[in-house]
Amino acid sequence: MSTLICGSIAFDNIMVFHDRFKNHILPQQIHILNVAFLVPEMRREFGGCAGNIAYNLKLLGGEPTIMATVGDDADSYLVRLDDLGLSRAHVRRIAGSFTAQAFITTDLDDNQITAFHPGAMTFSHLNRVADVPEATLGIVAPDGRAGMLQHAHDLAAARIPFVFDPGQGLPMFSGDELMTFIRLANYACFNDYEARLLCDRTGRSLEQLAGEVEALIVTRGGEGSHIHADGRRYEIPCVEADSVVDPTGCGDAYRSGLLYGLAAGWEWEKTGRLAAVMGAIKVAHRGGQNHRPSRDDIAACFARTFGSTLW
């Protein structure tokens, strides 16, 4: 049993500017904006939604299969996948391109200026779901526009249940296209902002949209999450983290818990609680893939928070 993770693999280049952007951007001169920031701190993280989700699902003991596209510069990421025991059989290298990359500069007020280069992600439609006949569950996470549309249709045609998780890619699609995704998918997952945007784009209420899928999940940051399923709304509390260090990748960690619970056939409350535990563990570490809890650690956090066993 394999869970097919369709989405991006990316590098996150994170830089820190030891001042405030507002001290260097003159409001009366923004029509000729030309600024440069010295960033003595920089780190490069392994990221991308498919990479992050698969990493967390592997920690849980799941069987993720990544379907993604990378560029000529992906050697270090591919070696990492090998070291983690994550198959790259369906990670396609696109010659003459860069791996998708985010360049994020943060100032002392935690303001951010981000540039994102999609690179090889644009060619994700070259990957075919039919090449993974062992898949029994899937997710369509943020990726190239054409690839997301194709993989959703392919998963539905193959009768593989899947989660639609557009994330930051949601604005790429019209209301009609989003309704197509919802009707093809078995489950859908959004943060609260994305859920509001989804309702605005489709002209439908959250309750109406929830009626189109087996479950619609809305994450709400520190306020927990809601799972709309079985004609009711499950209230999933936020799990207190050891510390709040970096929210990058928390949503992907949450989704790994959803996928694990779905694959295991768990009821929604337990599945949502595991998802919340994974998000809390991640937020205490920088980057999307630097936390390394064992299954015992995850189970201990679950038991400590909810007073029940996990495995």
**What pLDDT shows up at residue 69?**
98
Count of beta carbons in the 10 Å neighbourhood of residue 242: 11
What share of the chain in percent tops pLDDT 70? Answer: 100
**What pLDDT shows up at residue 246?**
86
**What pLDDT shows up at residue 255?**
98
pLDDT in tens, 114-127: 899 999 999 999 99
Largest CA-CA distance found in the chain, in angstroms, rounded: 60
Q: How far apart are the first and last CA of the chain?
A: 18
Spatial CA neighbour of 249 closest among 218, 216, 285, 220: 285
Q: Average model confidence (pLDDT) for the chain?
A: 95
Q: The tokens 């309750």 sit on which residue?
A: 207
Instruction: Report d(CA 35, CA 217) in Å as an integer.
Output: 41
pLDDT in tens, 61-112: 999 999 999 999 999 999 999 999 999 999 999 999 999 999 989 888 878 8
Instruction: Report d(CA 259, CA 138) in Å as an integer.
Output: 8
Domain topology for 2-9+47-99+120-306: UDP-N-acetylmuramoyl-L-alanine:D-glutamate ligase (3.40.1190)
Spatial contact of 306 and 265, defined as CB atoms under 8 Å apart: no
